[in-house]
Structure 1
Amino acid sequence: MRTSSPRFLITAALLVVTACGGASSDQAAANTGGDDAASAPASAGQANVDEGNSIPNIVKVAVGSADHTTLVAALKAANLVDVLANPGPFTVFAPTNAAFDKLPAGTVDDLLKPENLSKLKEILQHHVTTSALDAESFTDGQELGMVTAGSEKMTRKPDGLYIGAAKVVASVRASNGWVHVIDGVLVPAAK
């Protein structure tokens, strides 16, 4: 069963494709809350490669979504933007802003501090696996290995697909893999 993406993600993805080369830096900054991959100089890294009219990469899908500004800010703080713009393939489980809001008060602000960079990277990398997997690829009970070397269990319930306790609410194809929008933040098991 493929989970269809909400209208806002489809619209955002189309806007990213059509506006990639023509968005003003003010417009790009408004989408992500500041200096971002879309407004950086062309020589700043893989995330800034003009893809023309192709399907946007994972980073550009996230940057184009108003519901993923917290995730984009976290990716920038952790210096992972160019990594996720590379060819991949990747499957990213992308928590929405509302998913981050479910964390205890102050958690996100604390993770964004420079002294917590390694913990932030670990949490973000725990949302990524190195293959391009659409929603139909997952089986009930499957243990999915994440970049952190940890794993998350996939579960199929009558109301949809889950990874850990987070529900997959939408899926978007990207040029370098898949983005599965989730309603929770995946926290790696303590080591």
Structure 2
Amino acid sequence: MKSILSYFLIALLFPLLFSCKNEVKENTETAPVDSVAKISEGKELDAKRQKNISSSVVSRAMMTPELSRFVSSAISAGLVDSLMQGGKMYTIFAPTNDAFDAMDSKTKERVYNLANVASLKQLLKNHIVIGNLDSINLVSSIRNHNGNFKINTMGGTQLNASRDGMDIIFTDANGKKSKLVKSDIKAENGILHVIDAVMGE
């Protein structure tokens, strides 16, 4: 009787043991595949991030020789990291090196004072706009707004865009004017324009 019971117990347990063994085997076989997929996904995200950085508006400015002062100022002001990331589109009206050199001595002393980085940051933000404004959009917006298109900057100031013949002119709140001298340097996260004066001093 005992031998018969033992036989039935073995007969019942054997399929269960076999199925558990298969389940463990399946889990060990699929685990490495999942790990490889996660690693691959991480590499793709890193590659995408690197692409965004290398083709950002700041990178385009770095490759434009006449904007080296603007780039060094953006680094000093701590703006580079945010302008290199994706997620938002930026339009930058970047003053040339000559434009920075032409600032009056009092303004230079104020914005390049290491103890007052906020002042430099504010000045640069007066040249940055959230959104993607290429020259075609600017021209059509000027025309659609009776010759004067108001642009809100990240610095909380306004630039007025208008036309003077074929030129696009920007006027800040103090009445200072700058001209668009190079346009539509396209980037992954926005667009870069070069202007000939520092605005919102």
**Cross-structure match for 2:198:** 185
Equivalent position of 1:26 in the other structure: none
> 1:147 aligns to what?
154
Corresponding residue to 1:167 among 172, 179, 184? 179
Q: Name the structure with the higher helix share.
A: 2
Unaligned runs of 5+ in 1: 1-45
Normalising by structure 1, we get a TM-score of: 0.67
Structure 1 vs Structure 2 CA RMSD: 2.2
Relative contact order, CA 8 A, sep 6+: which one is greater?
1
Structure 2: gaps spanning 5 or more residues: 1-45, 172-176
CA distance in 1, matches of 2:200, 2:115: 19
**Which secondary structure does the structure 1 equivalent of 2:51 belong to?**
coil
Greater C-alpha radius of gyration? 2
Correspondence list, 1:23-172, <5 A:
49-51=49-51, 56-87=55-86, 88-105=88-105, 107-108=107-108, 110-138=110-138, 139=142, 140-164=147-171, 165-171=177-183, 172=185
Q: Which of structure 1's runs of 4+ aligned residues deviate more than 4 A?
A: none
Size of the alignment, in residue pairs? Answer: 140
Instruction: Provide the TM-score with structure 2 as the length reference.
Output: 0.64
What's the CA shift string for 1:112-132, capped at 9, x where partnerless?
222121111111001011001
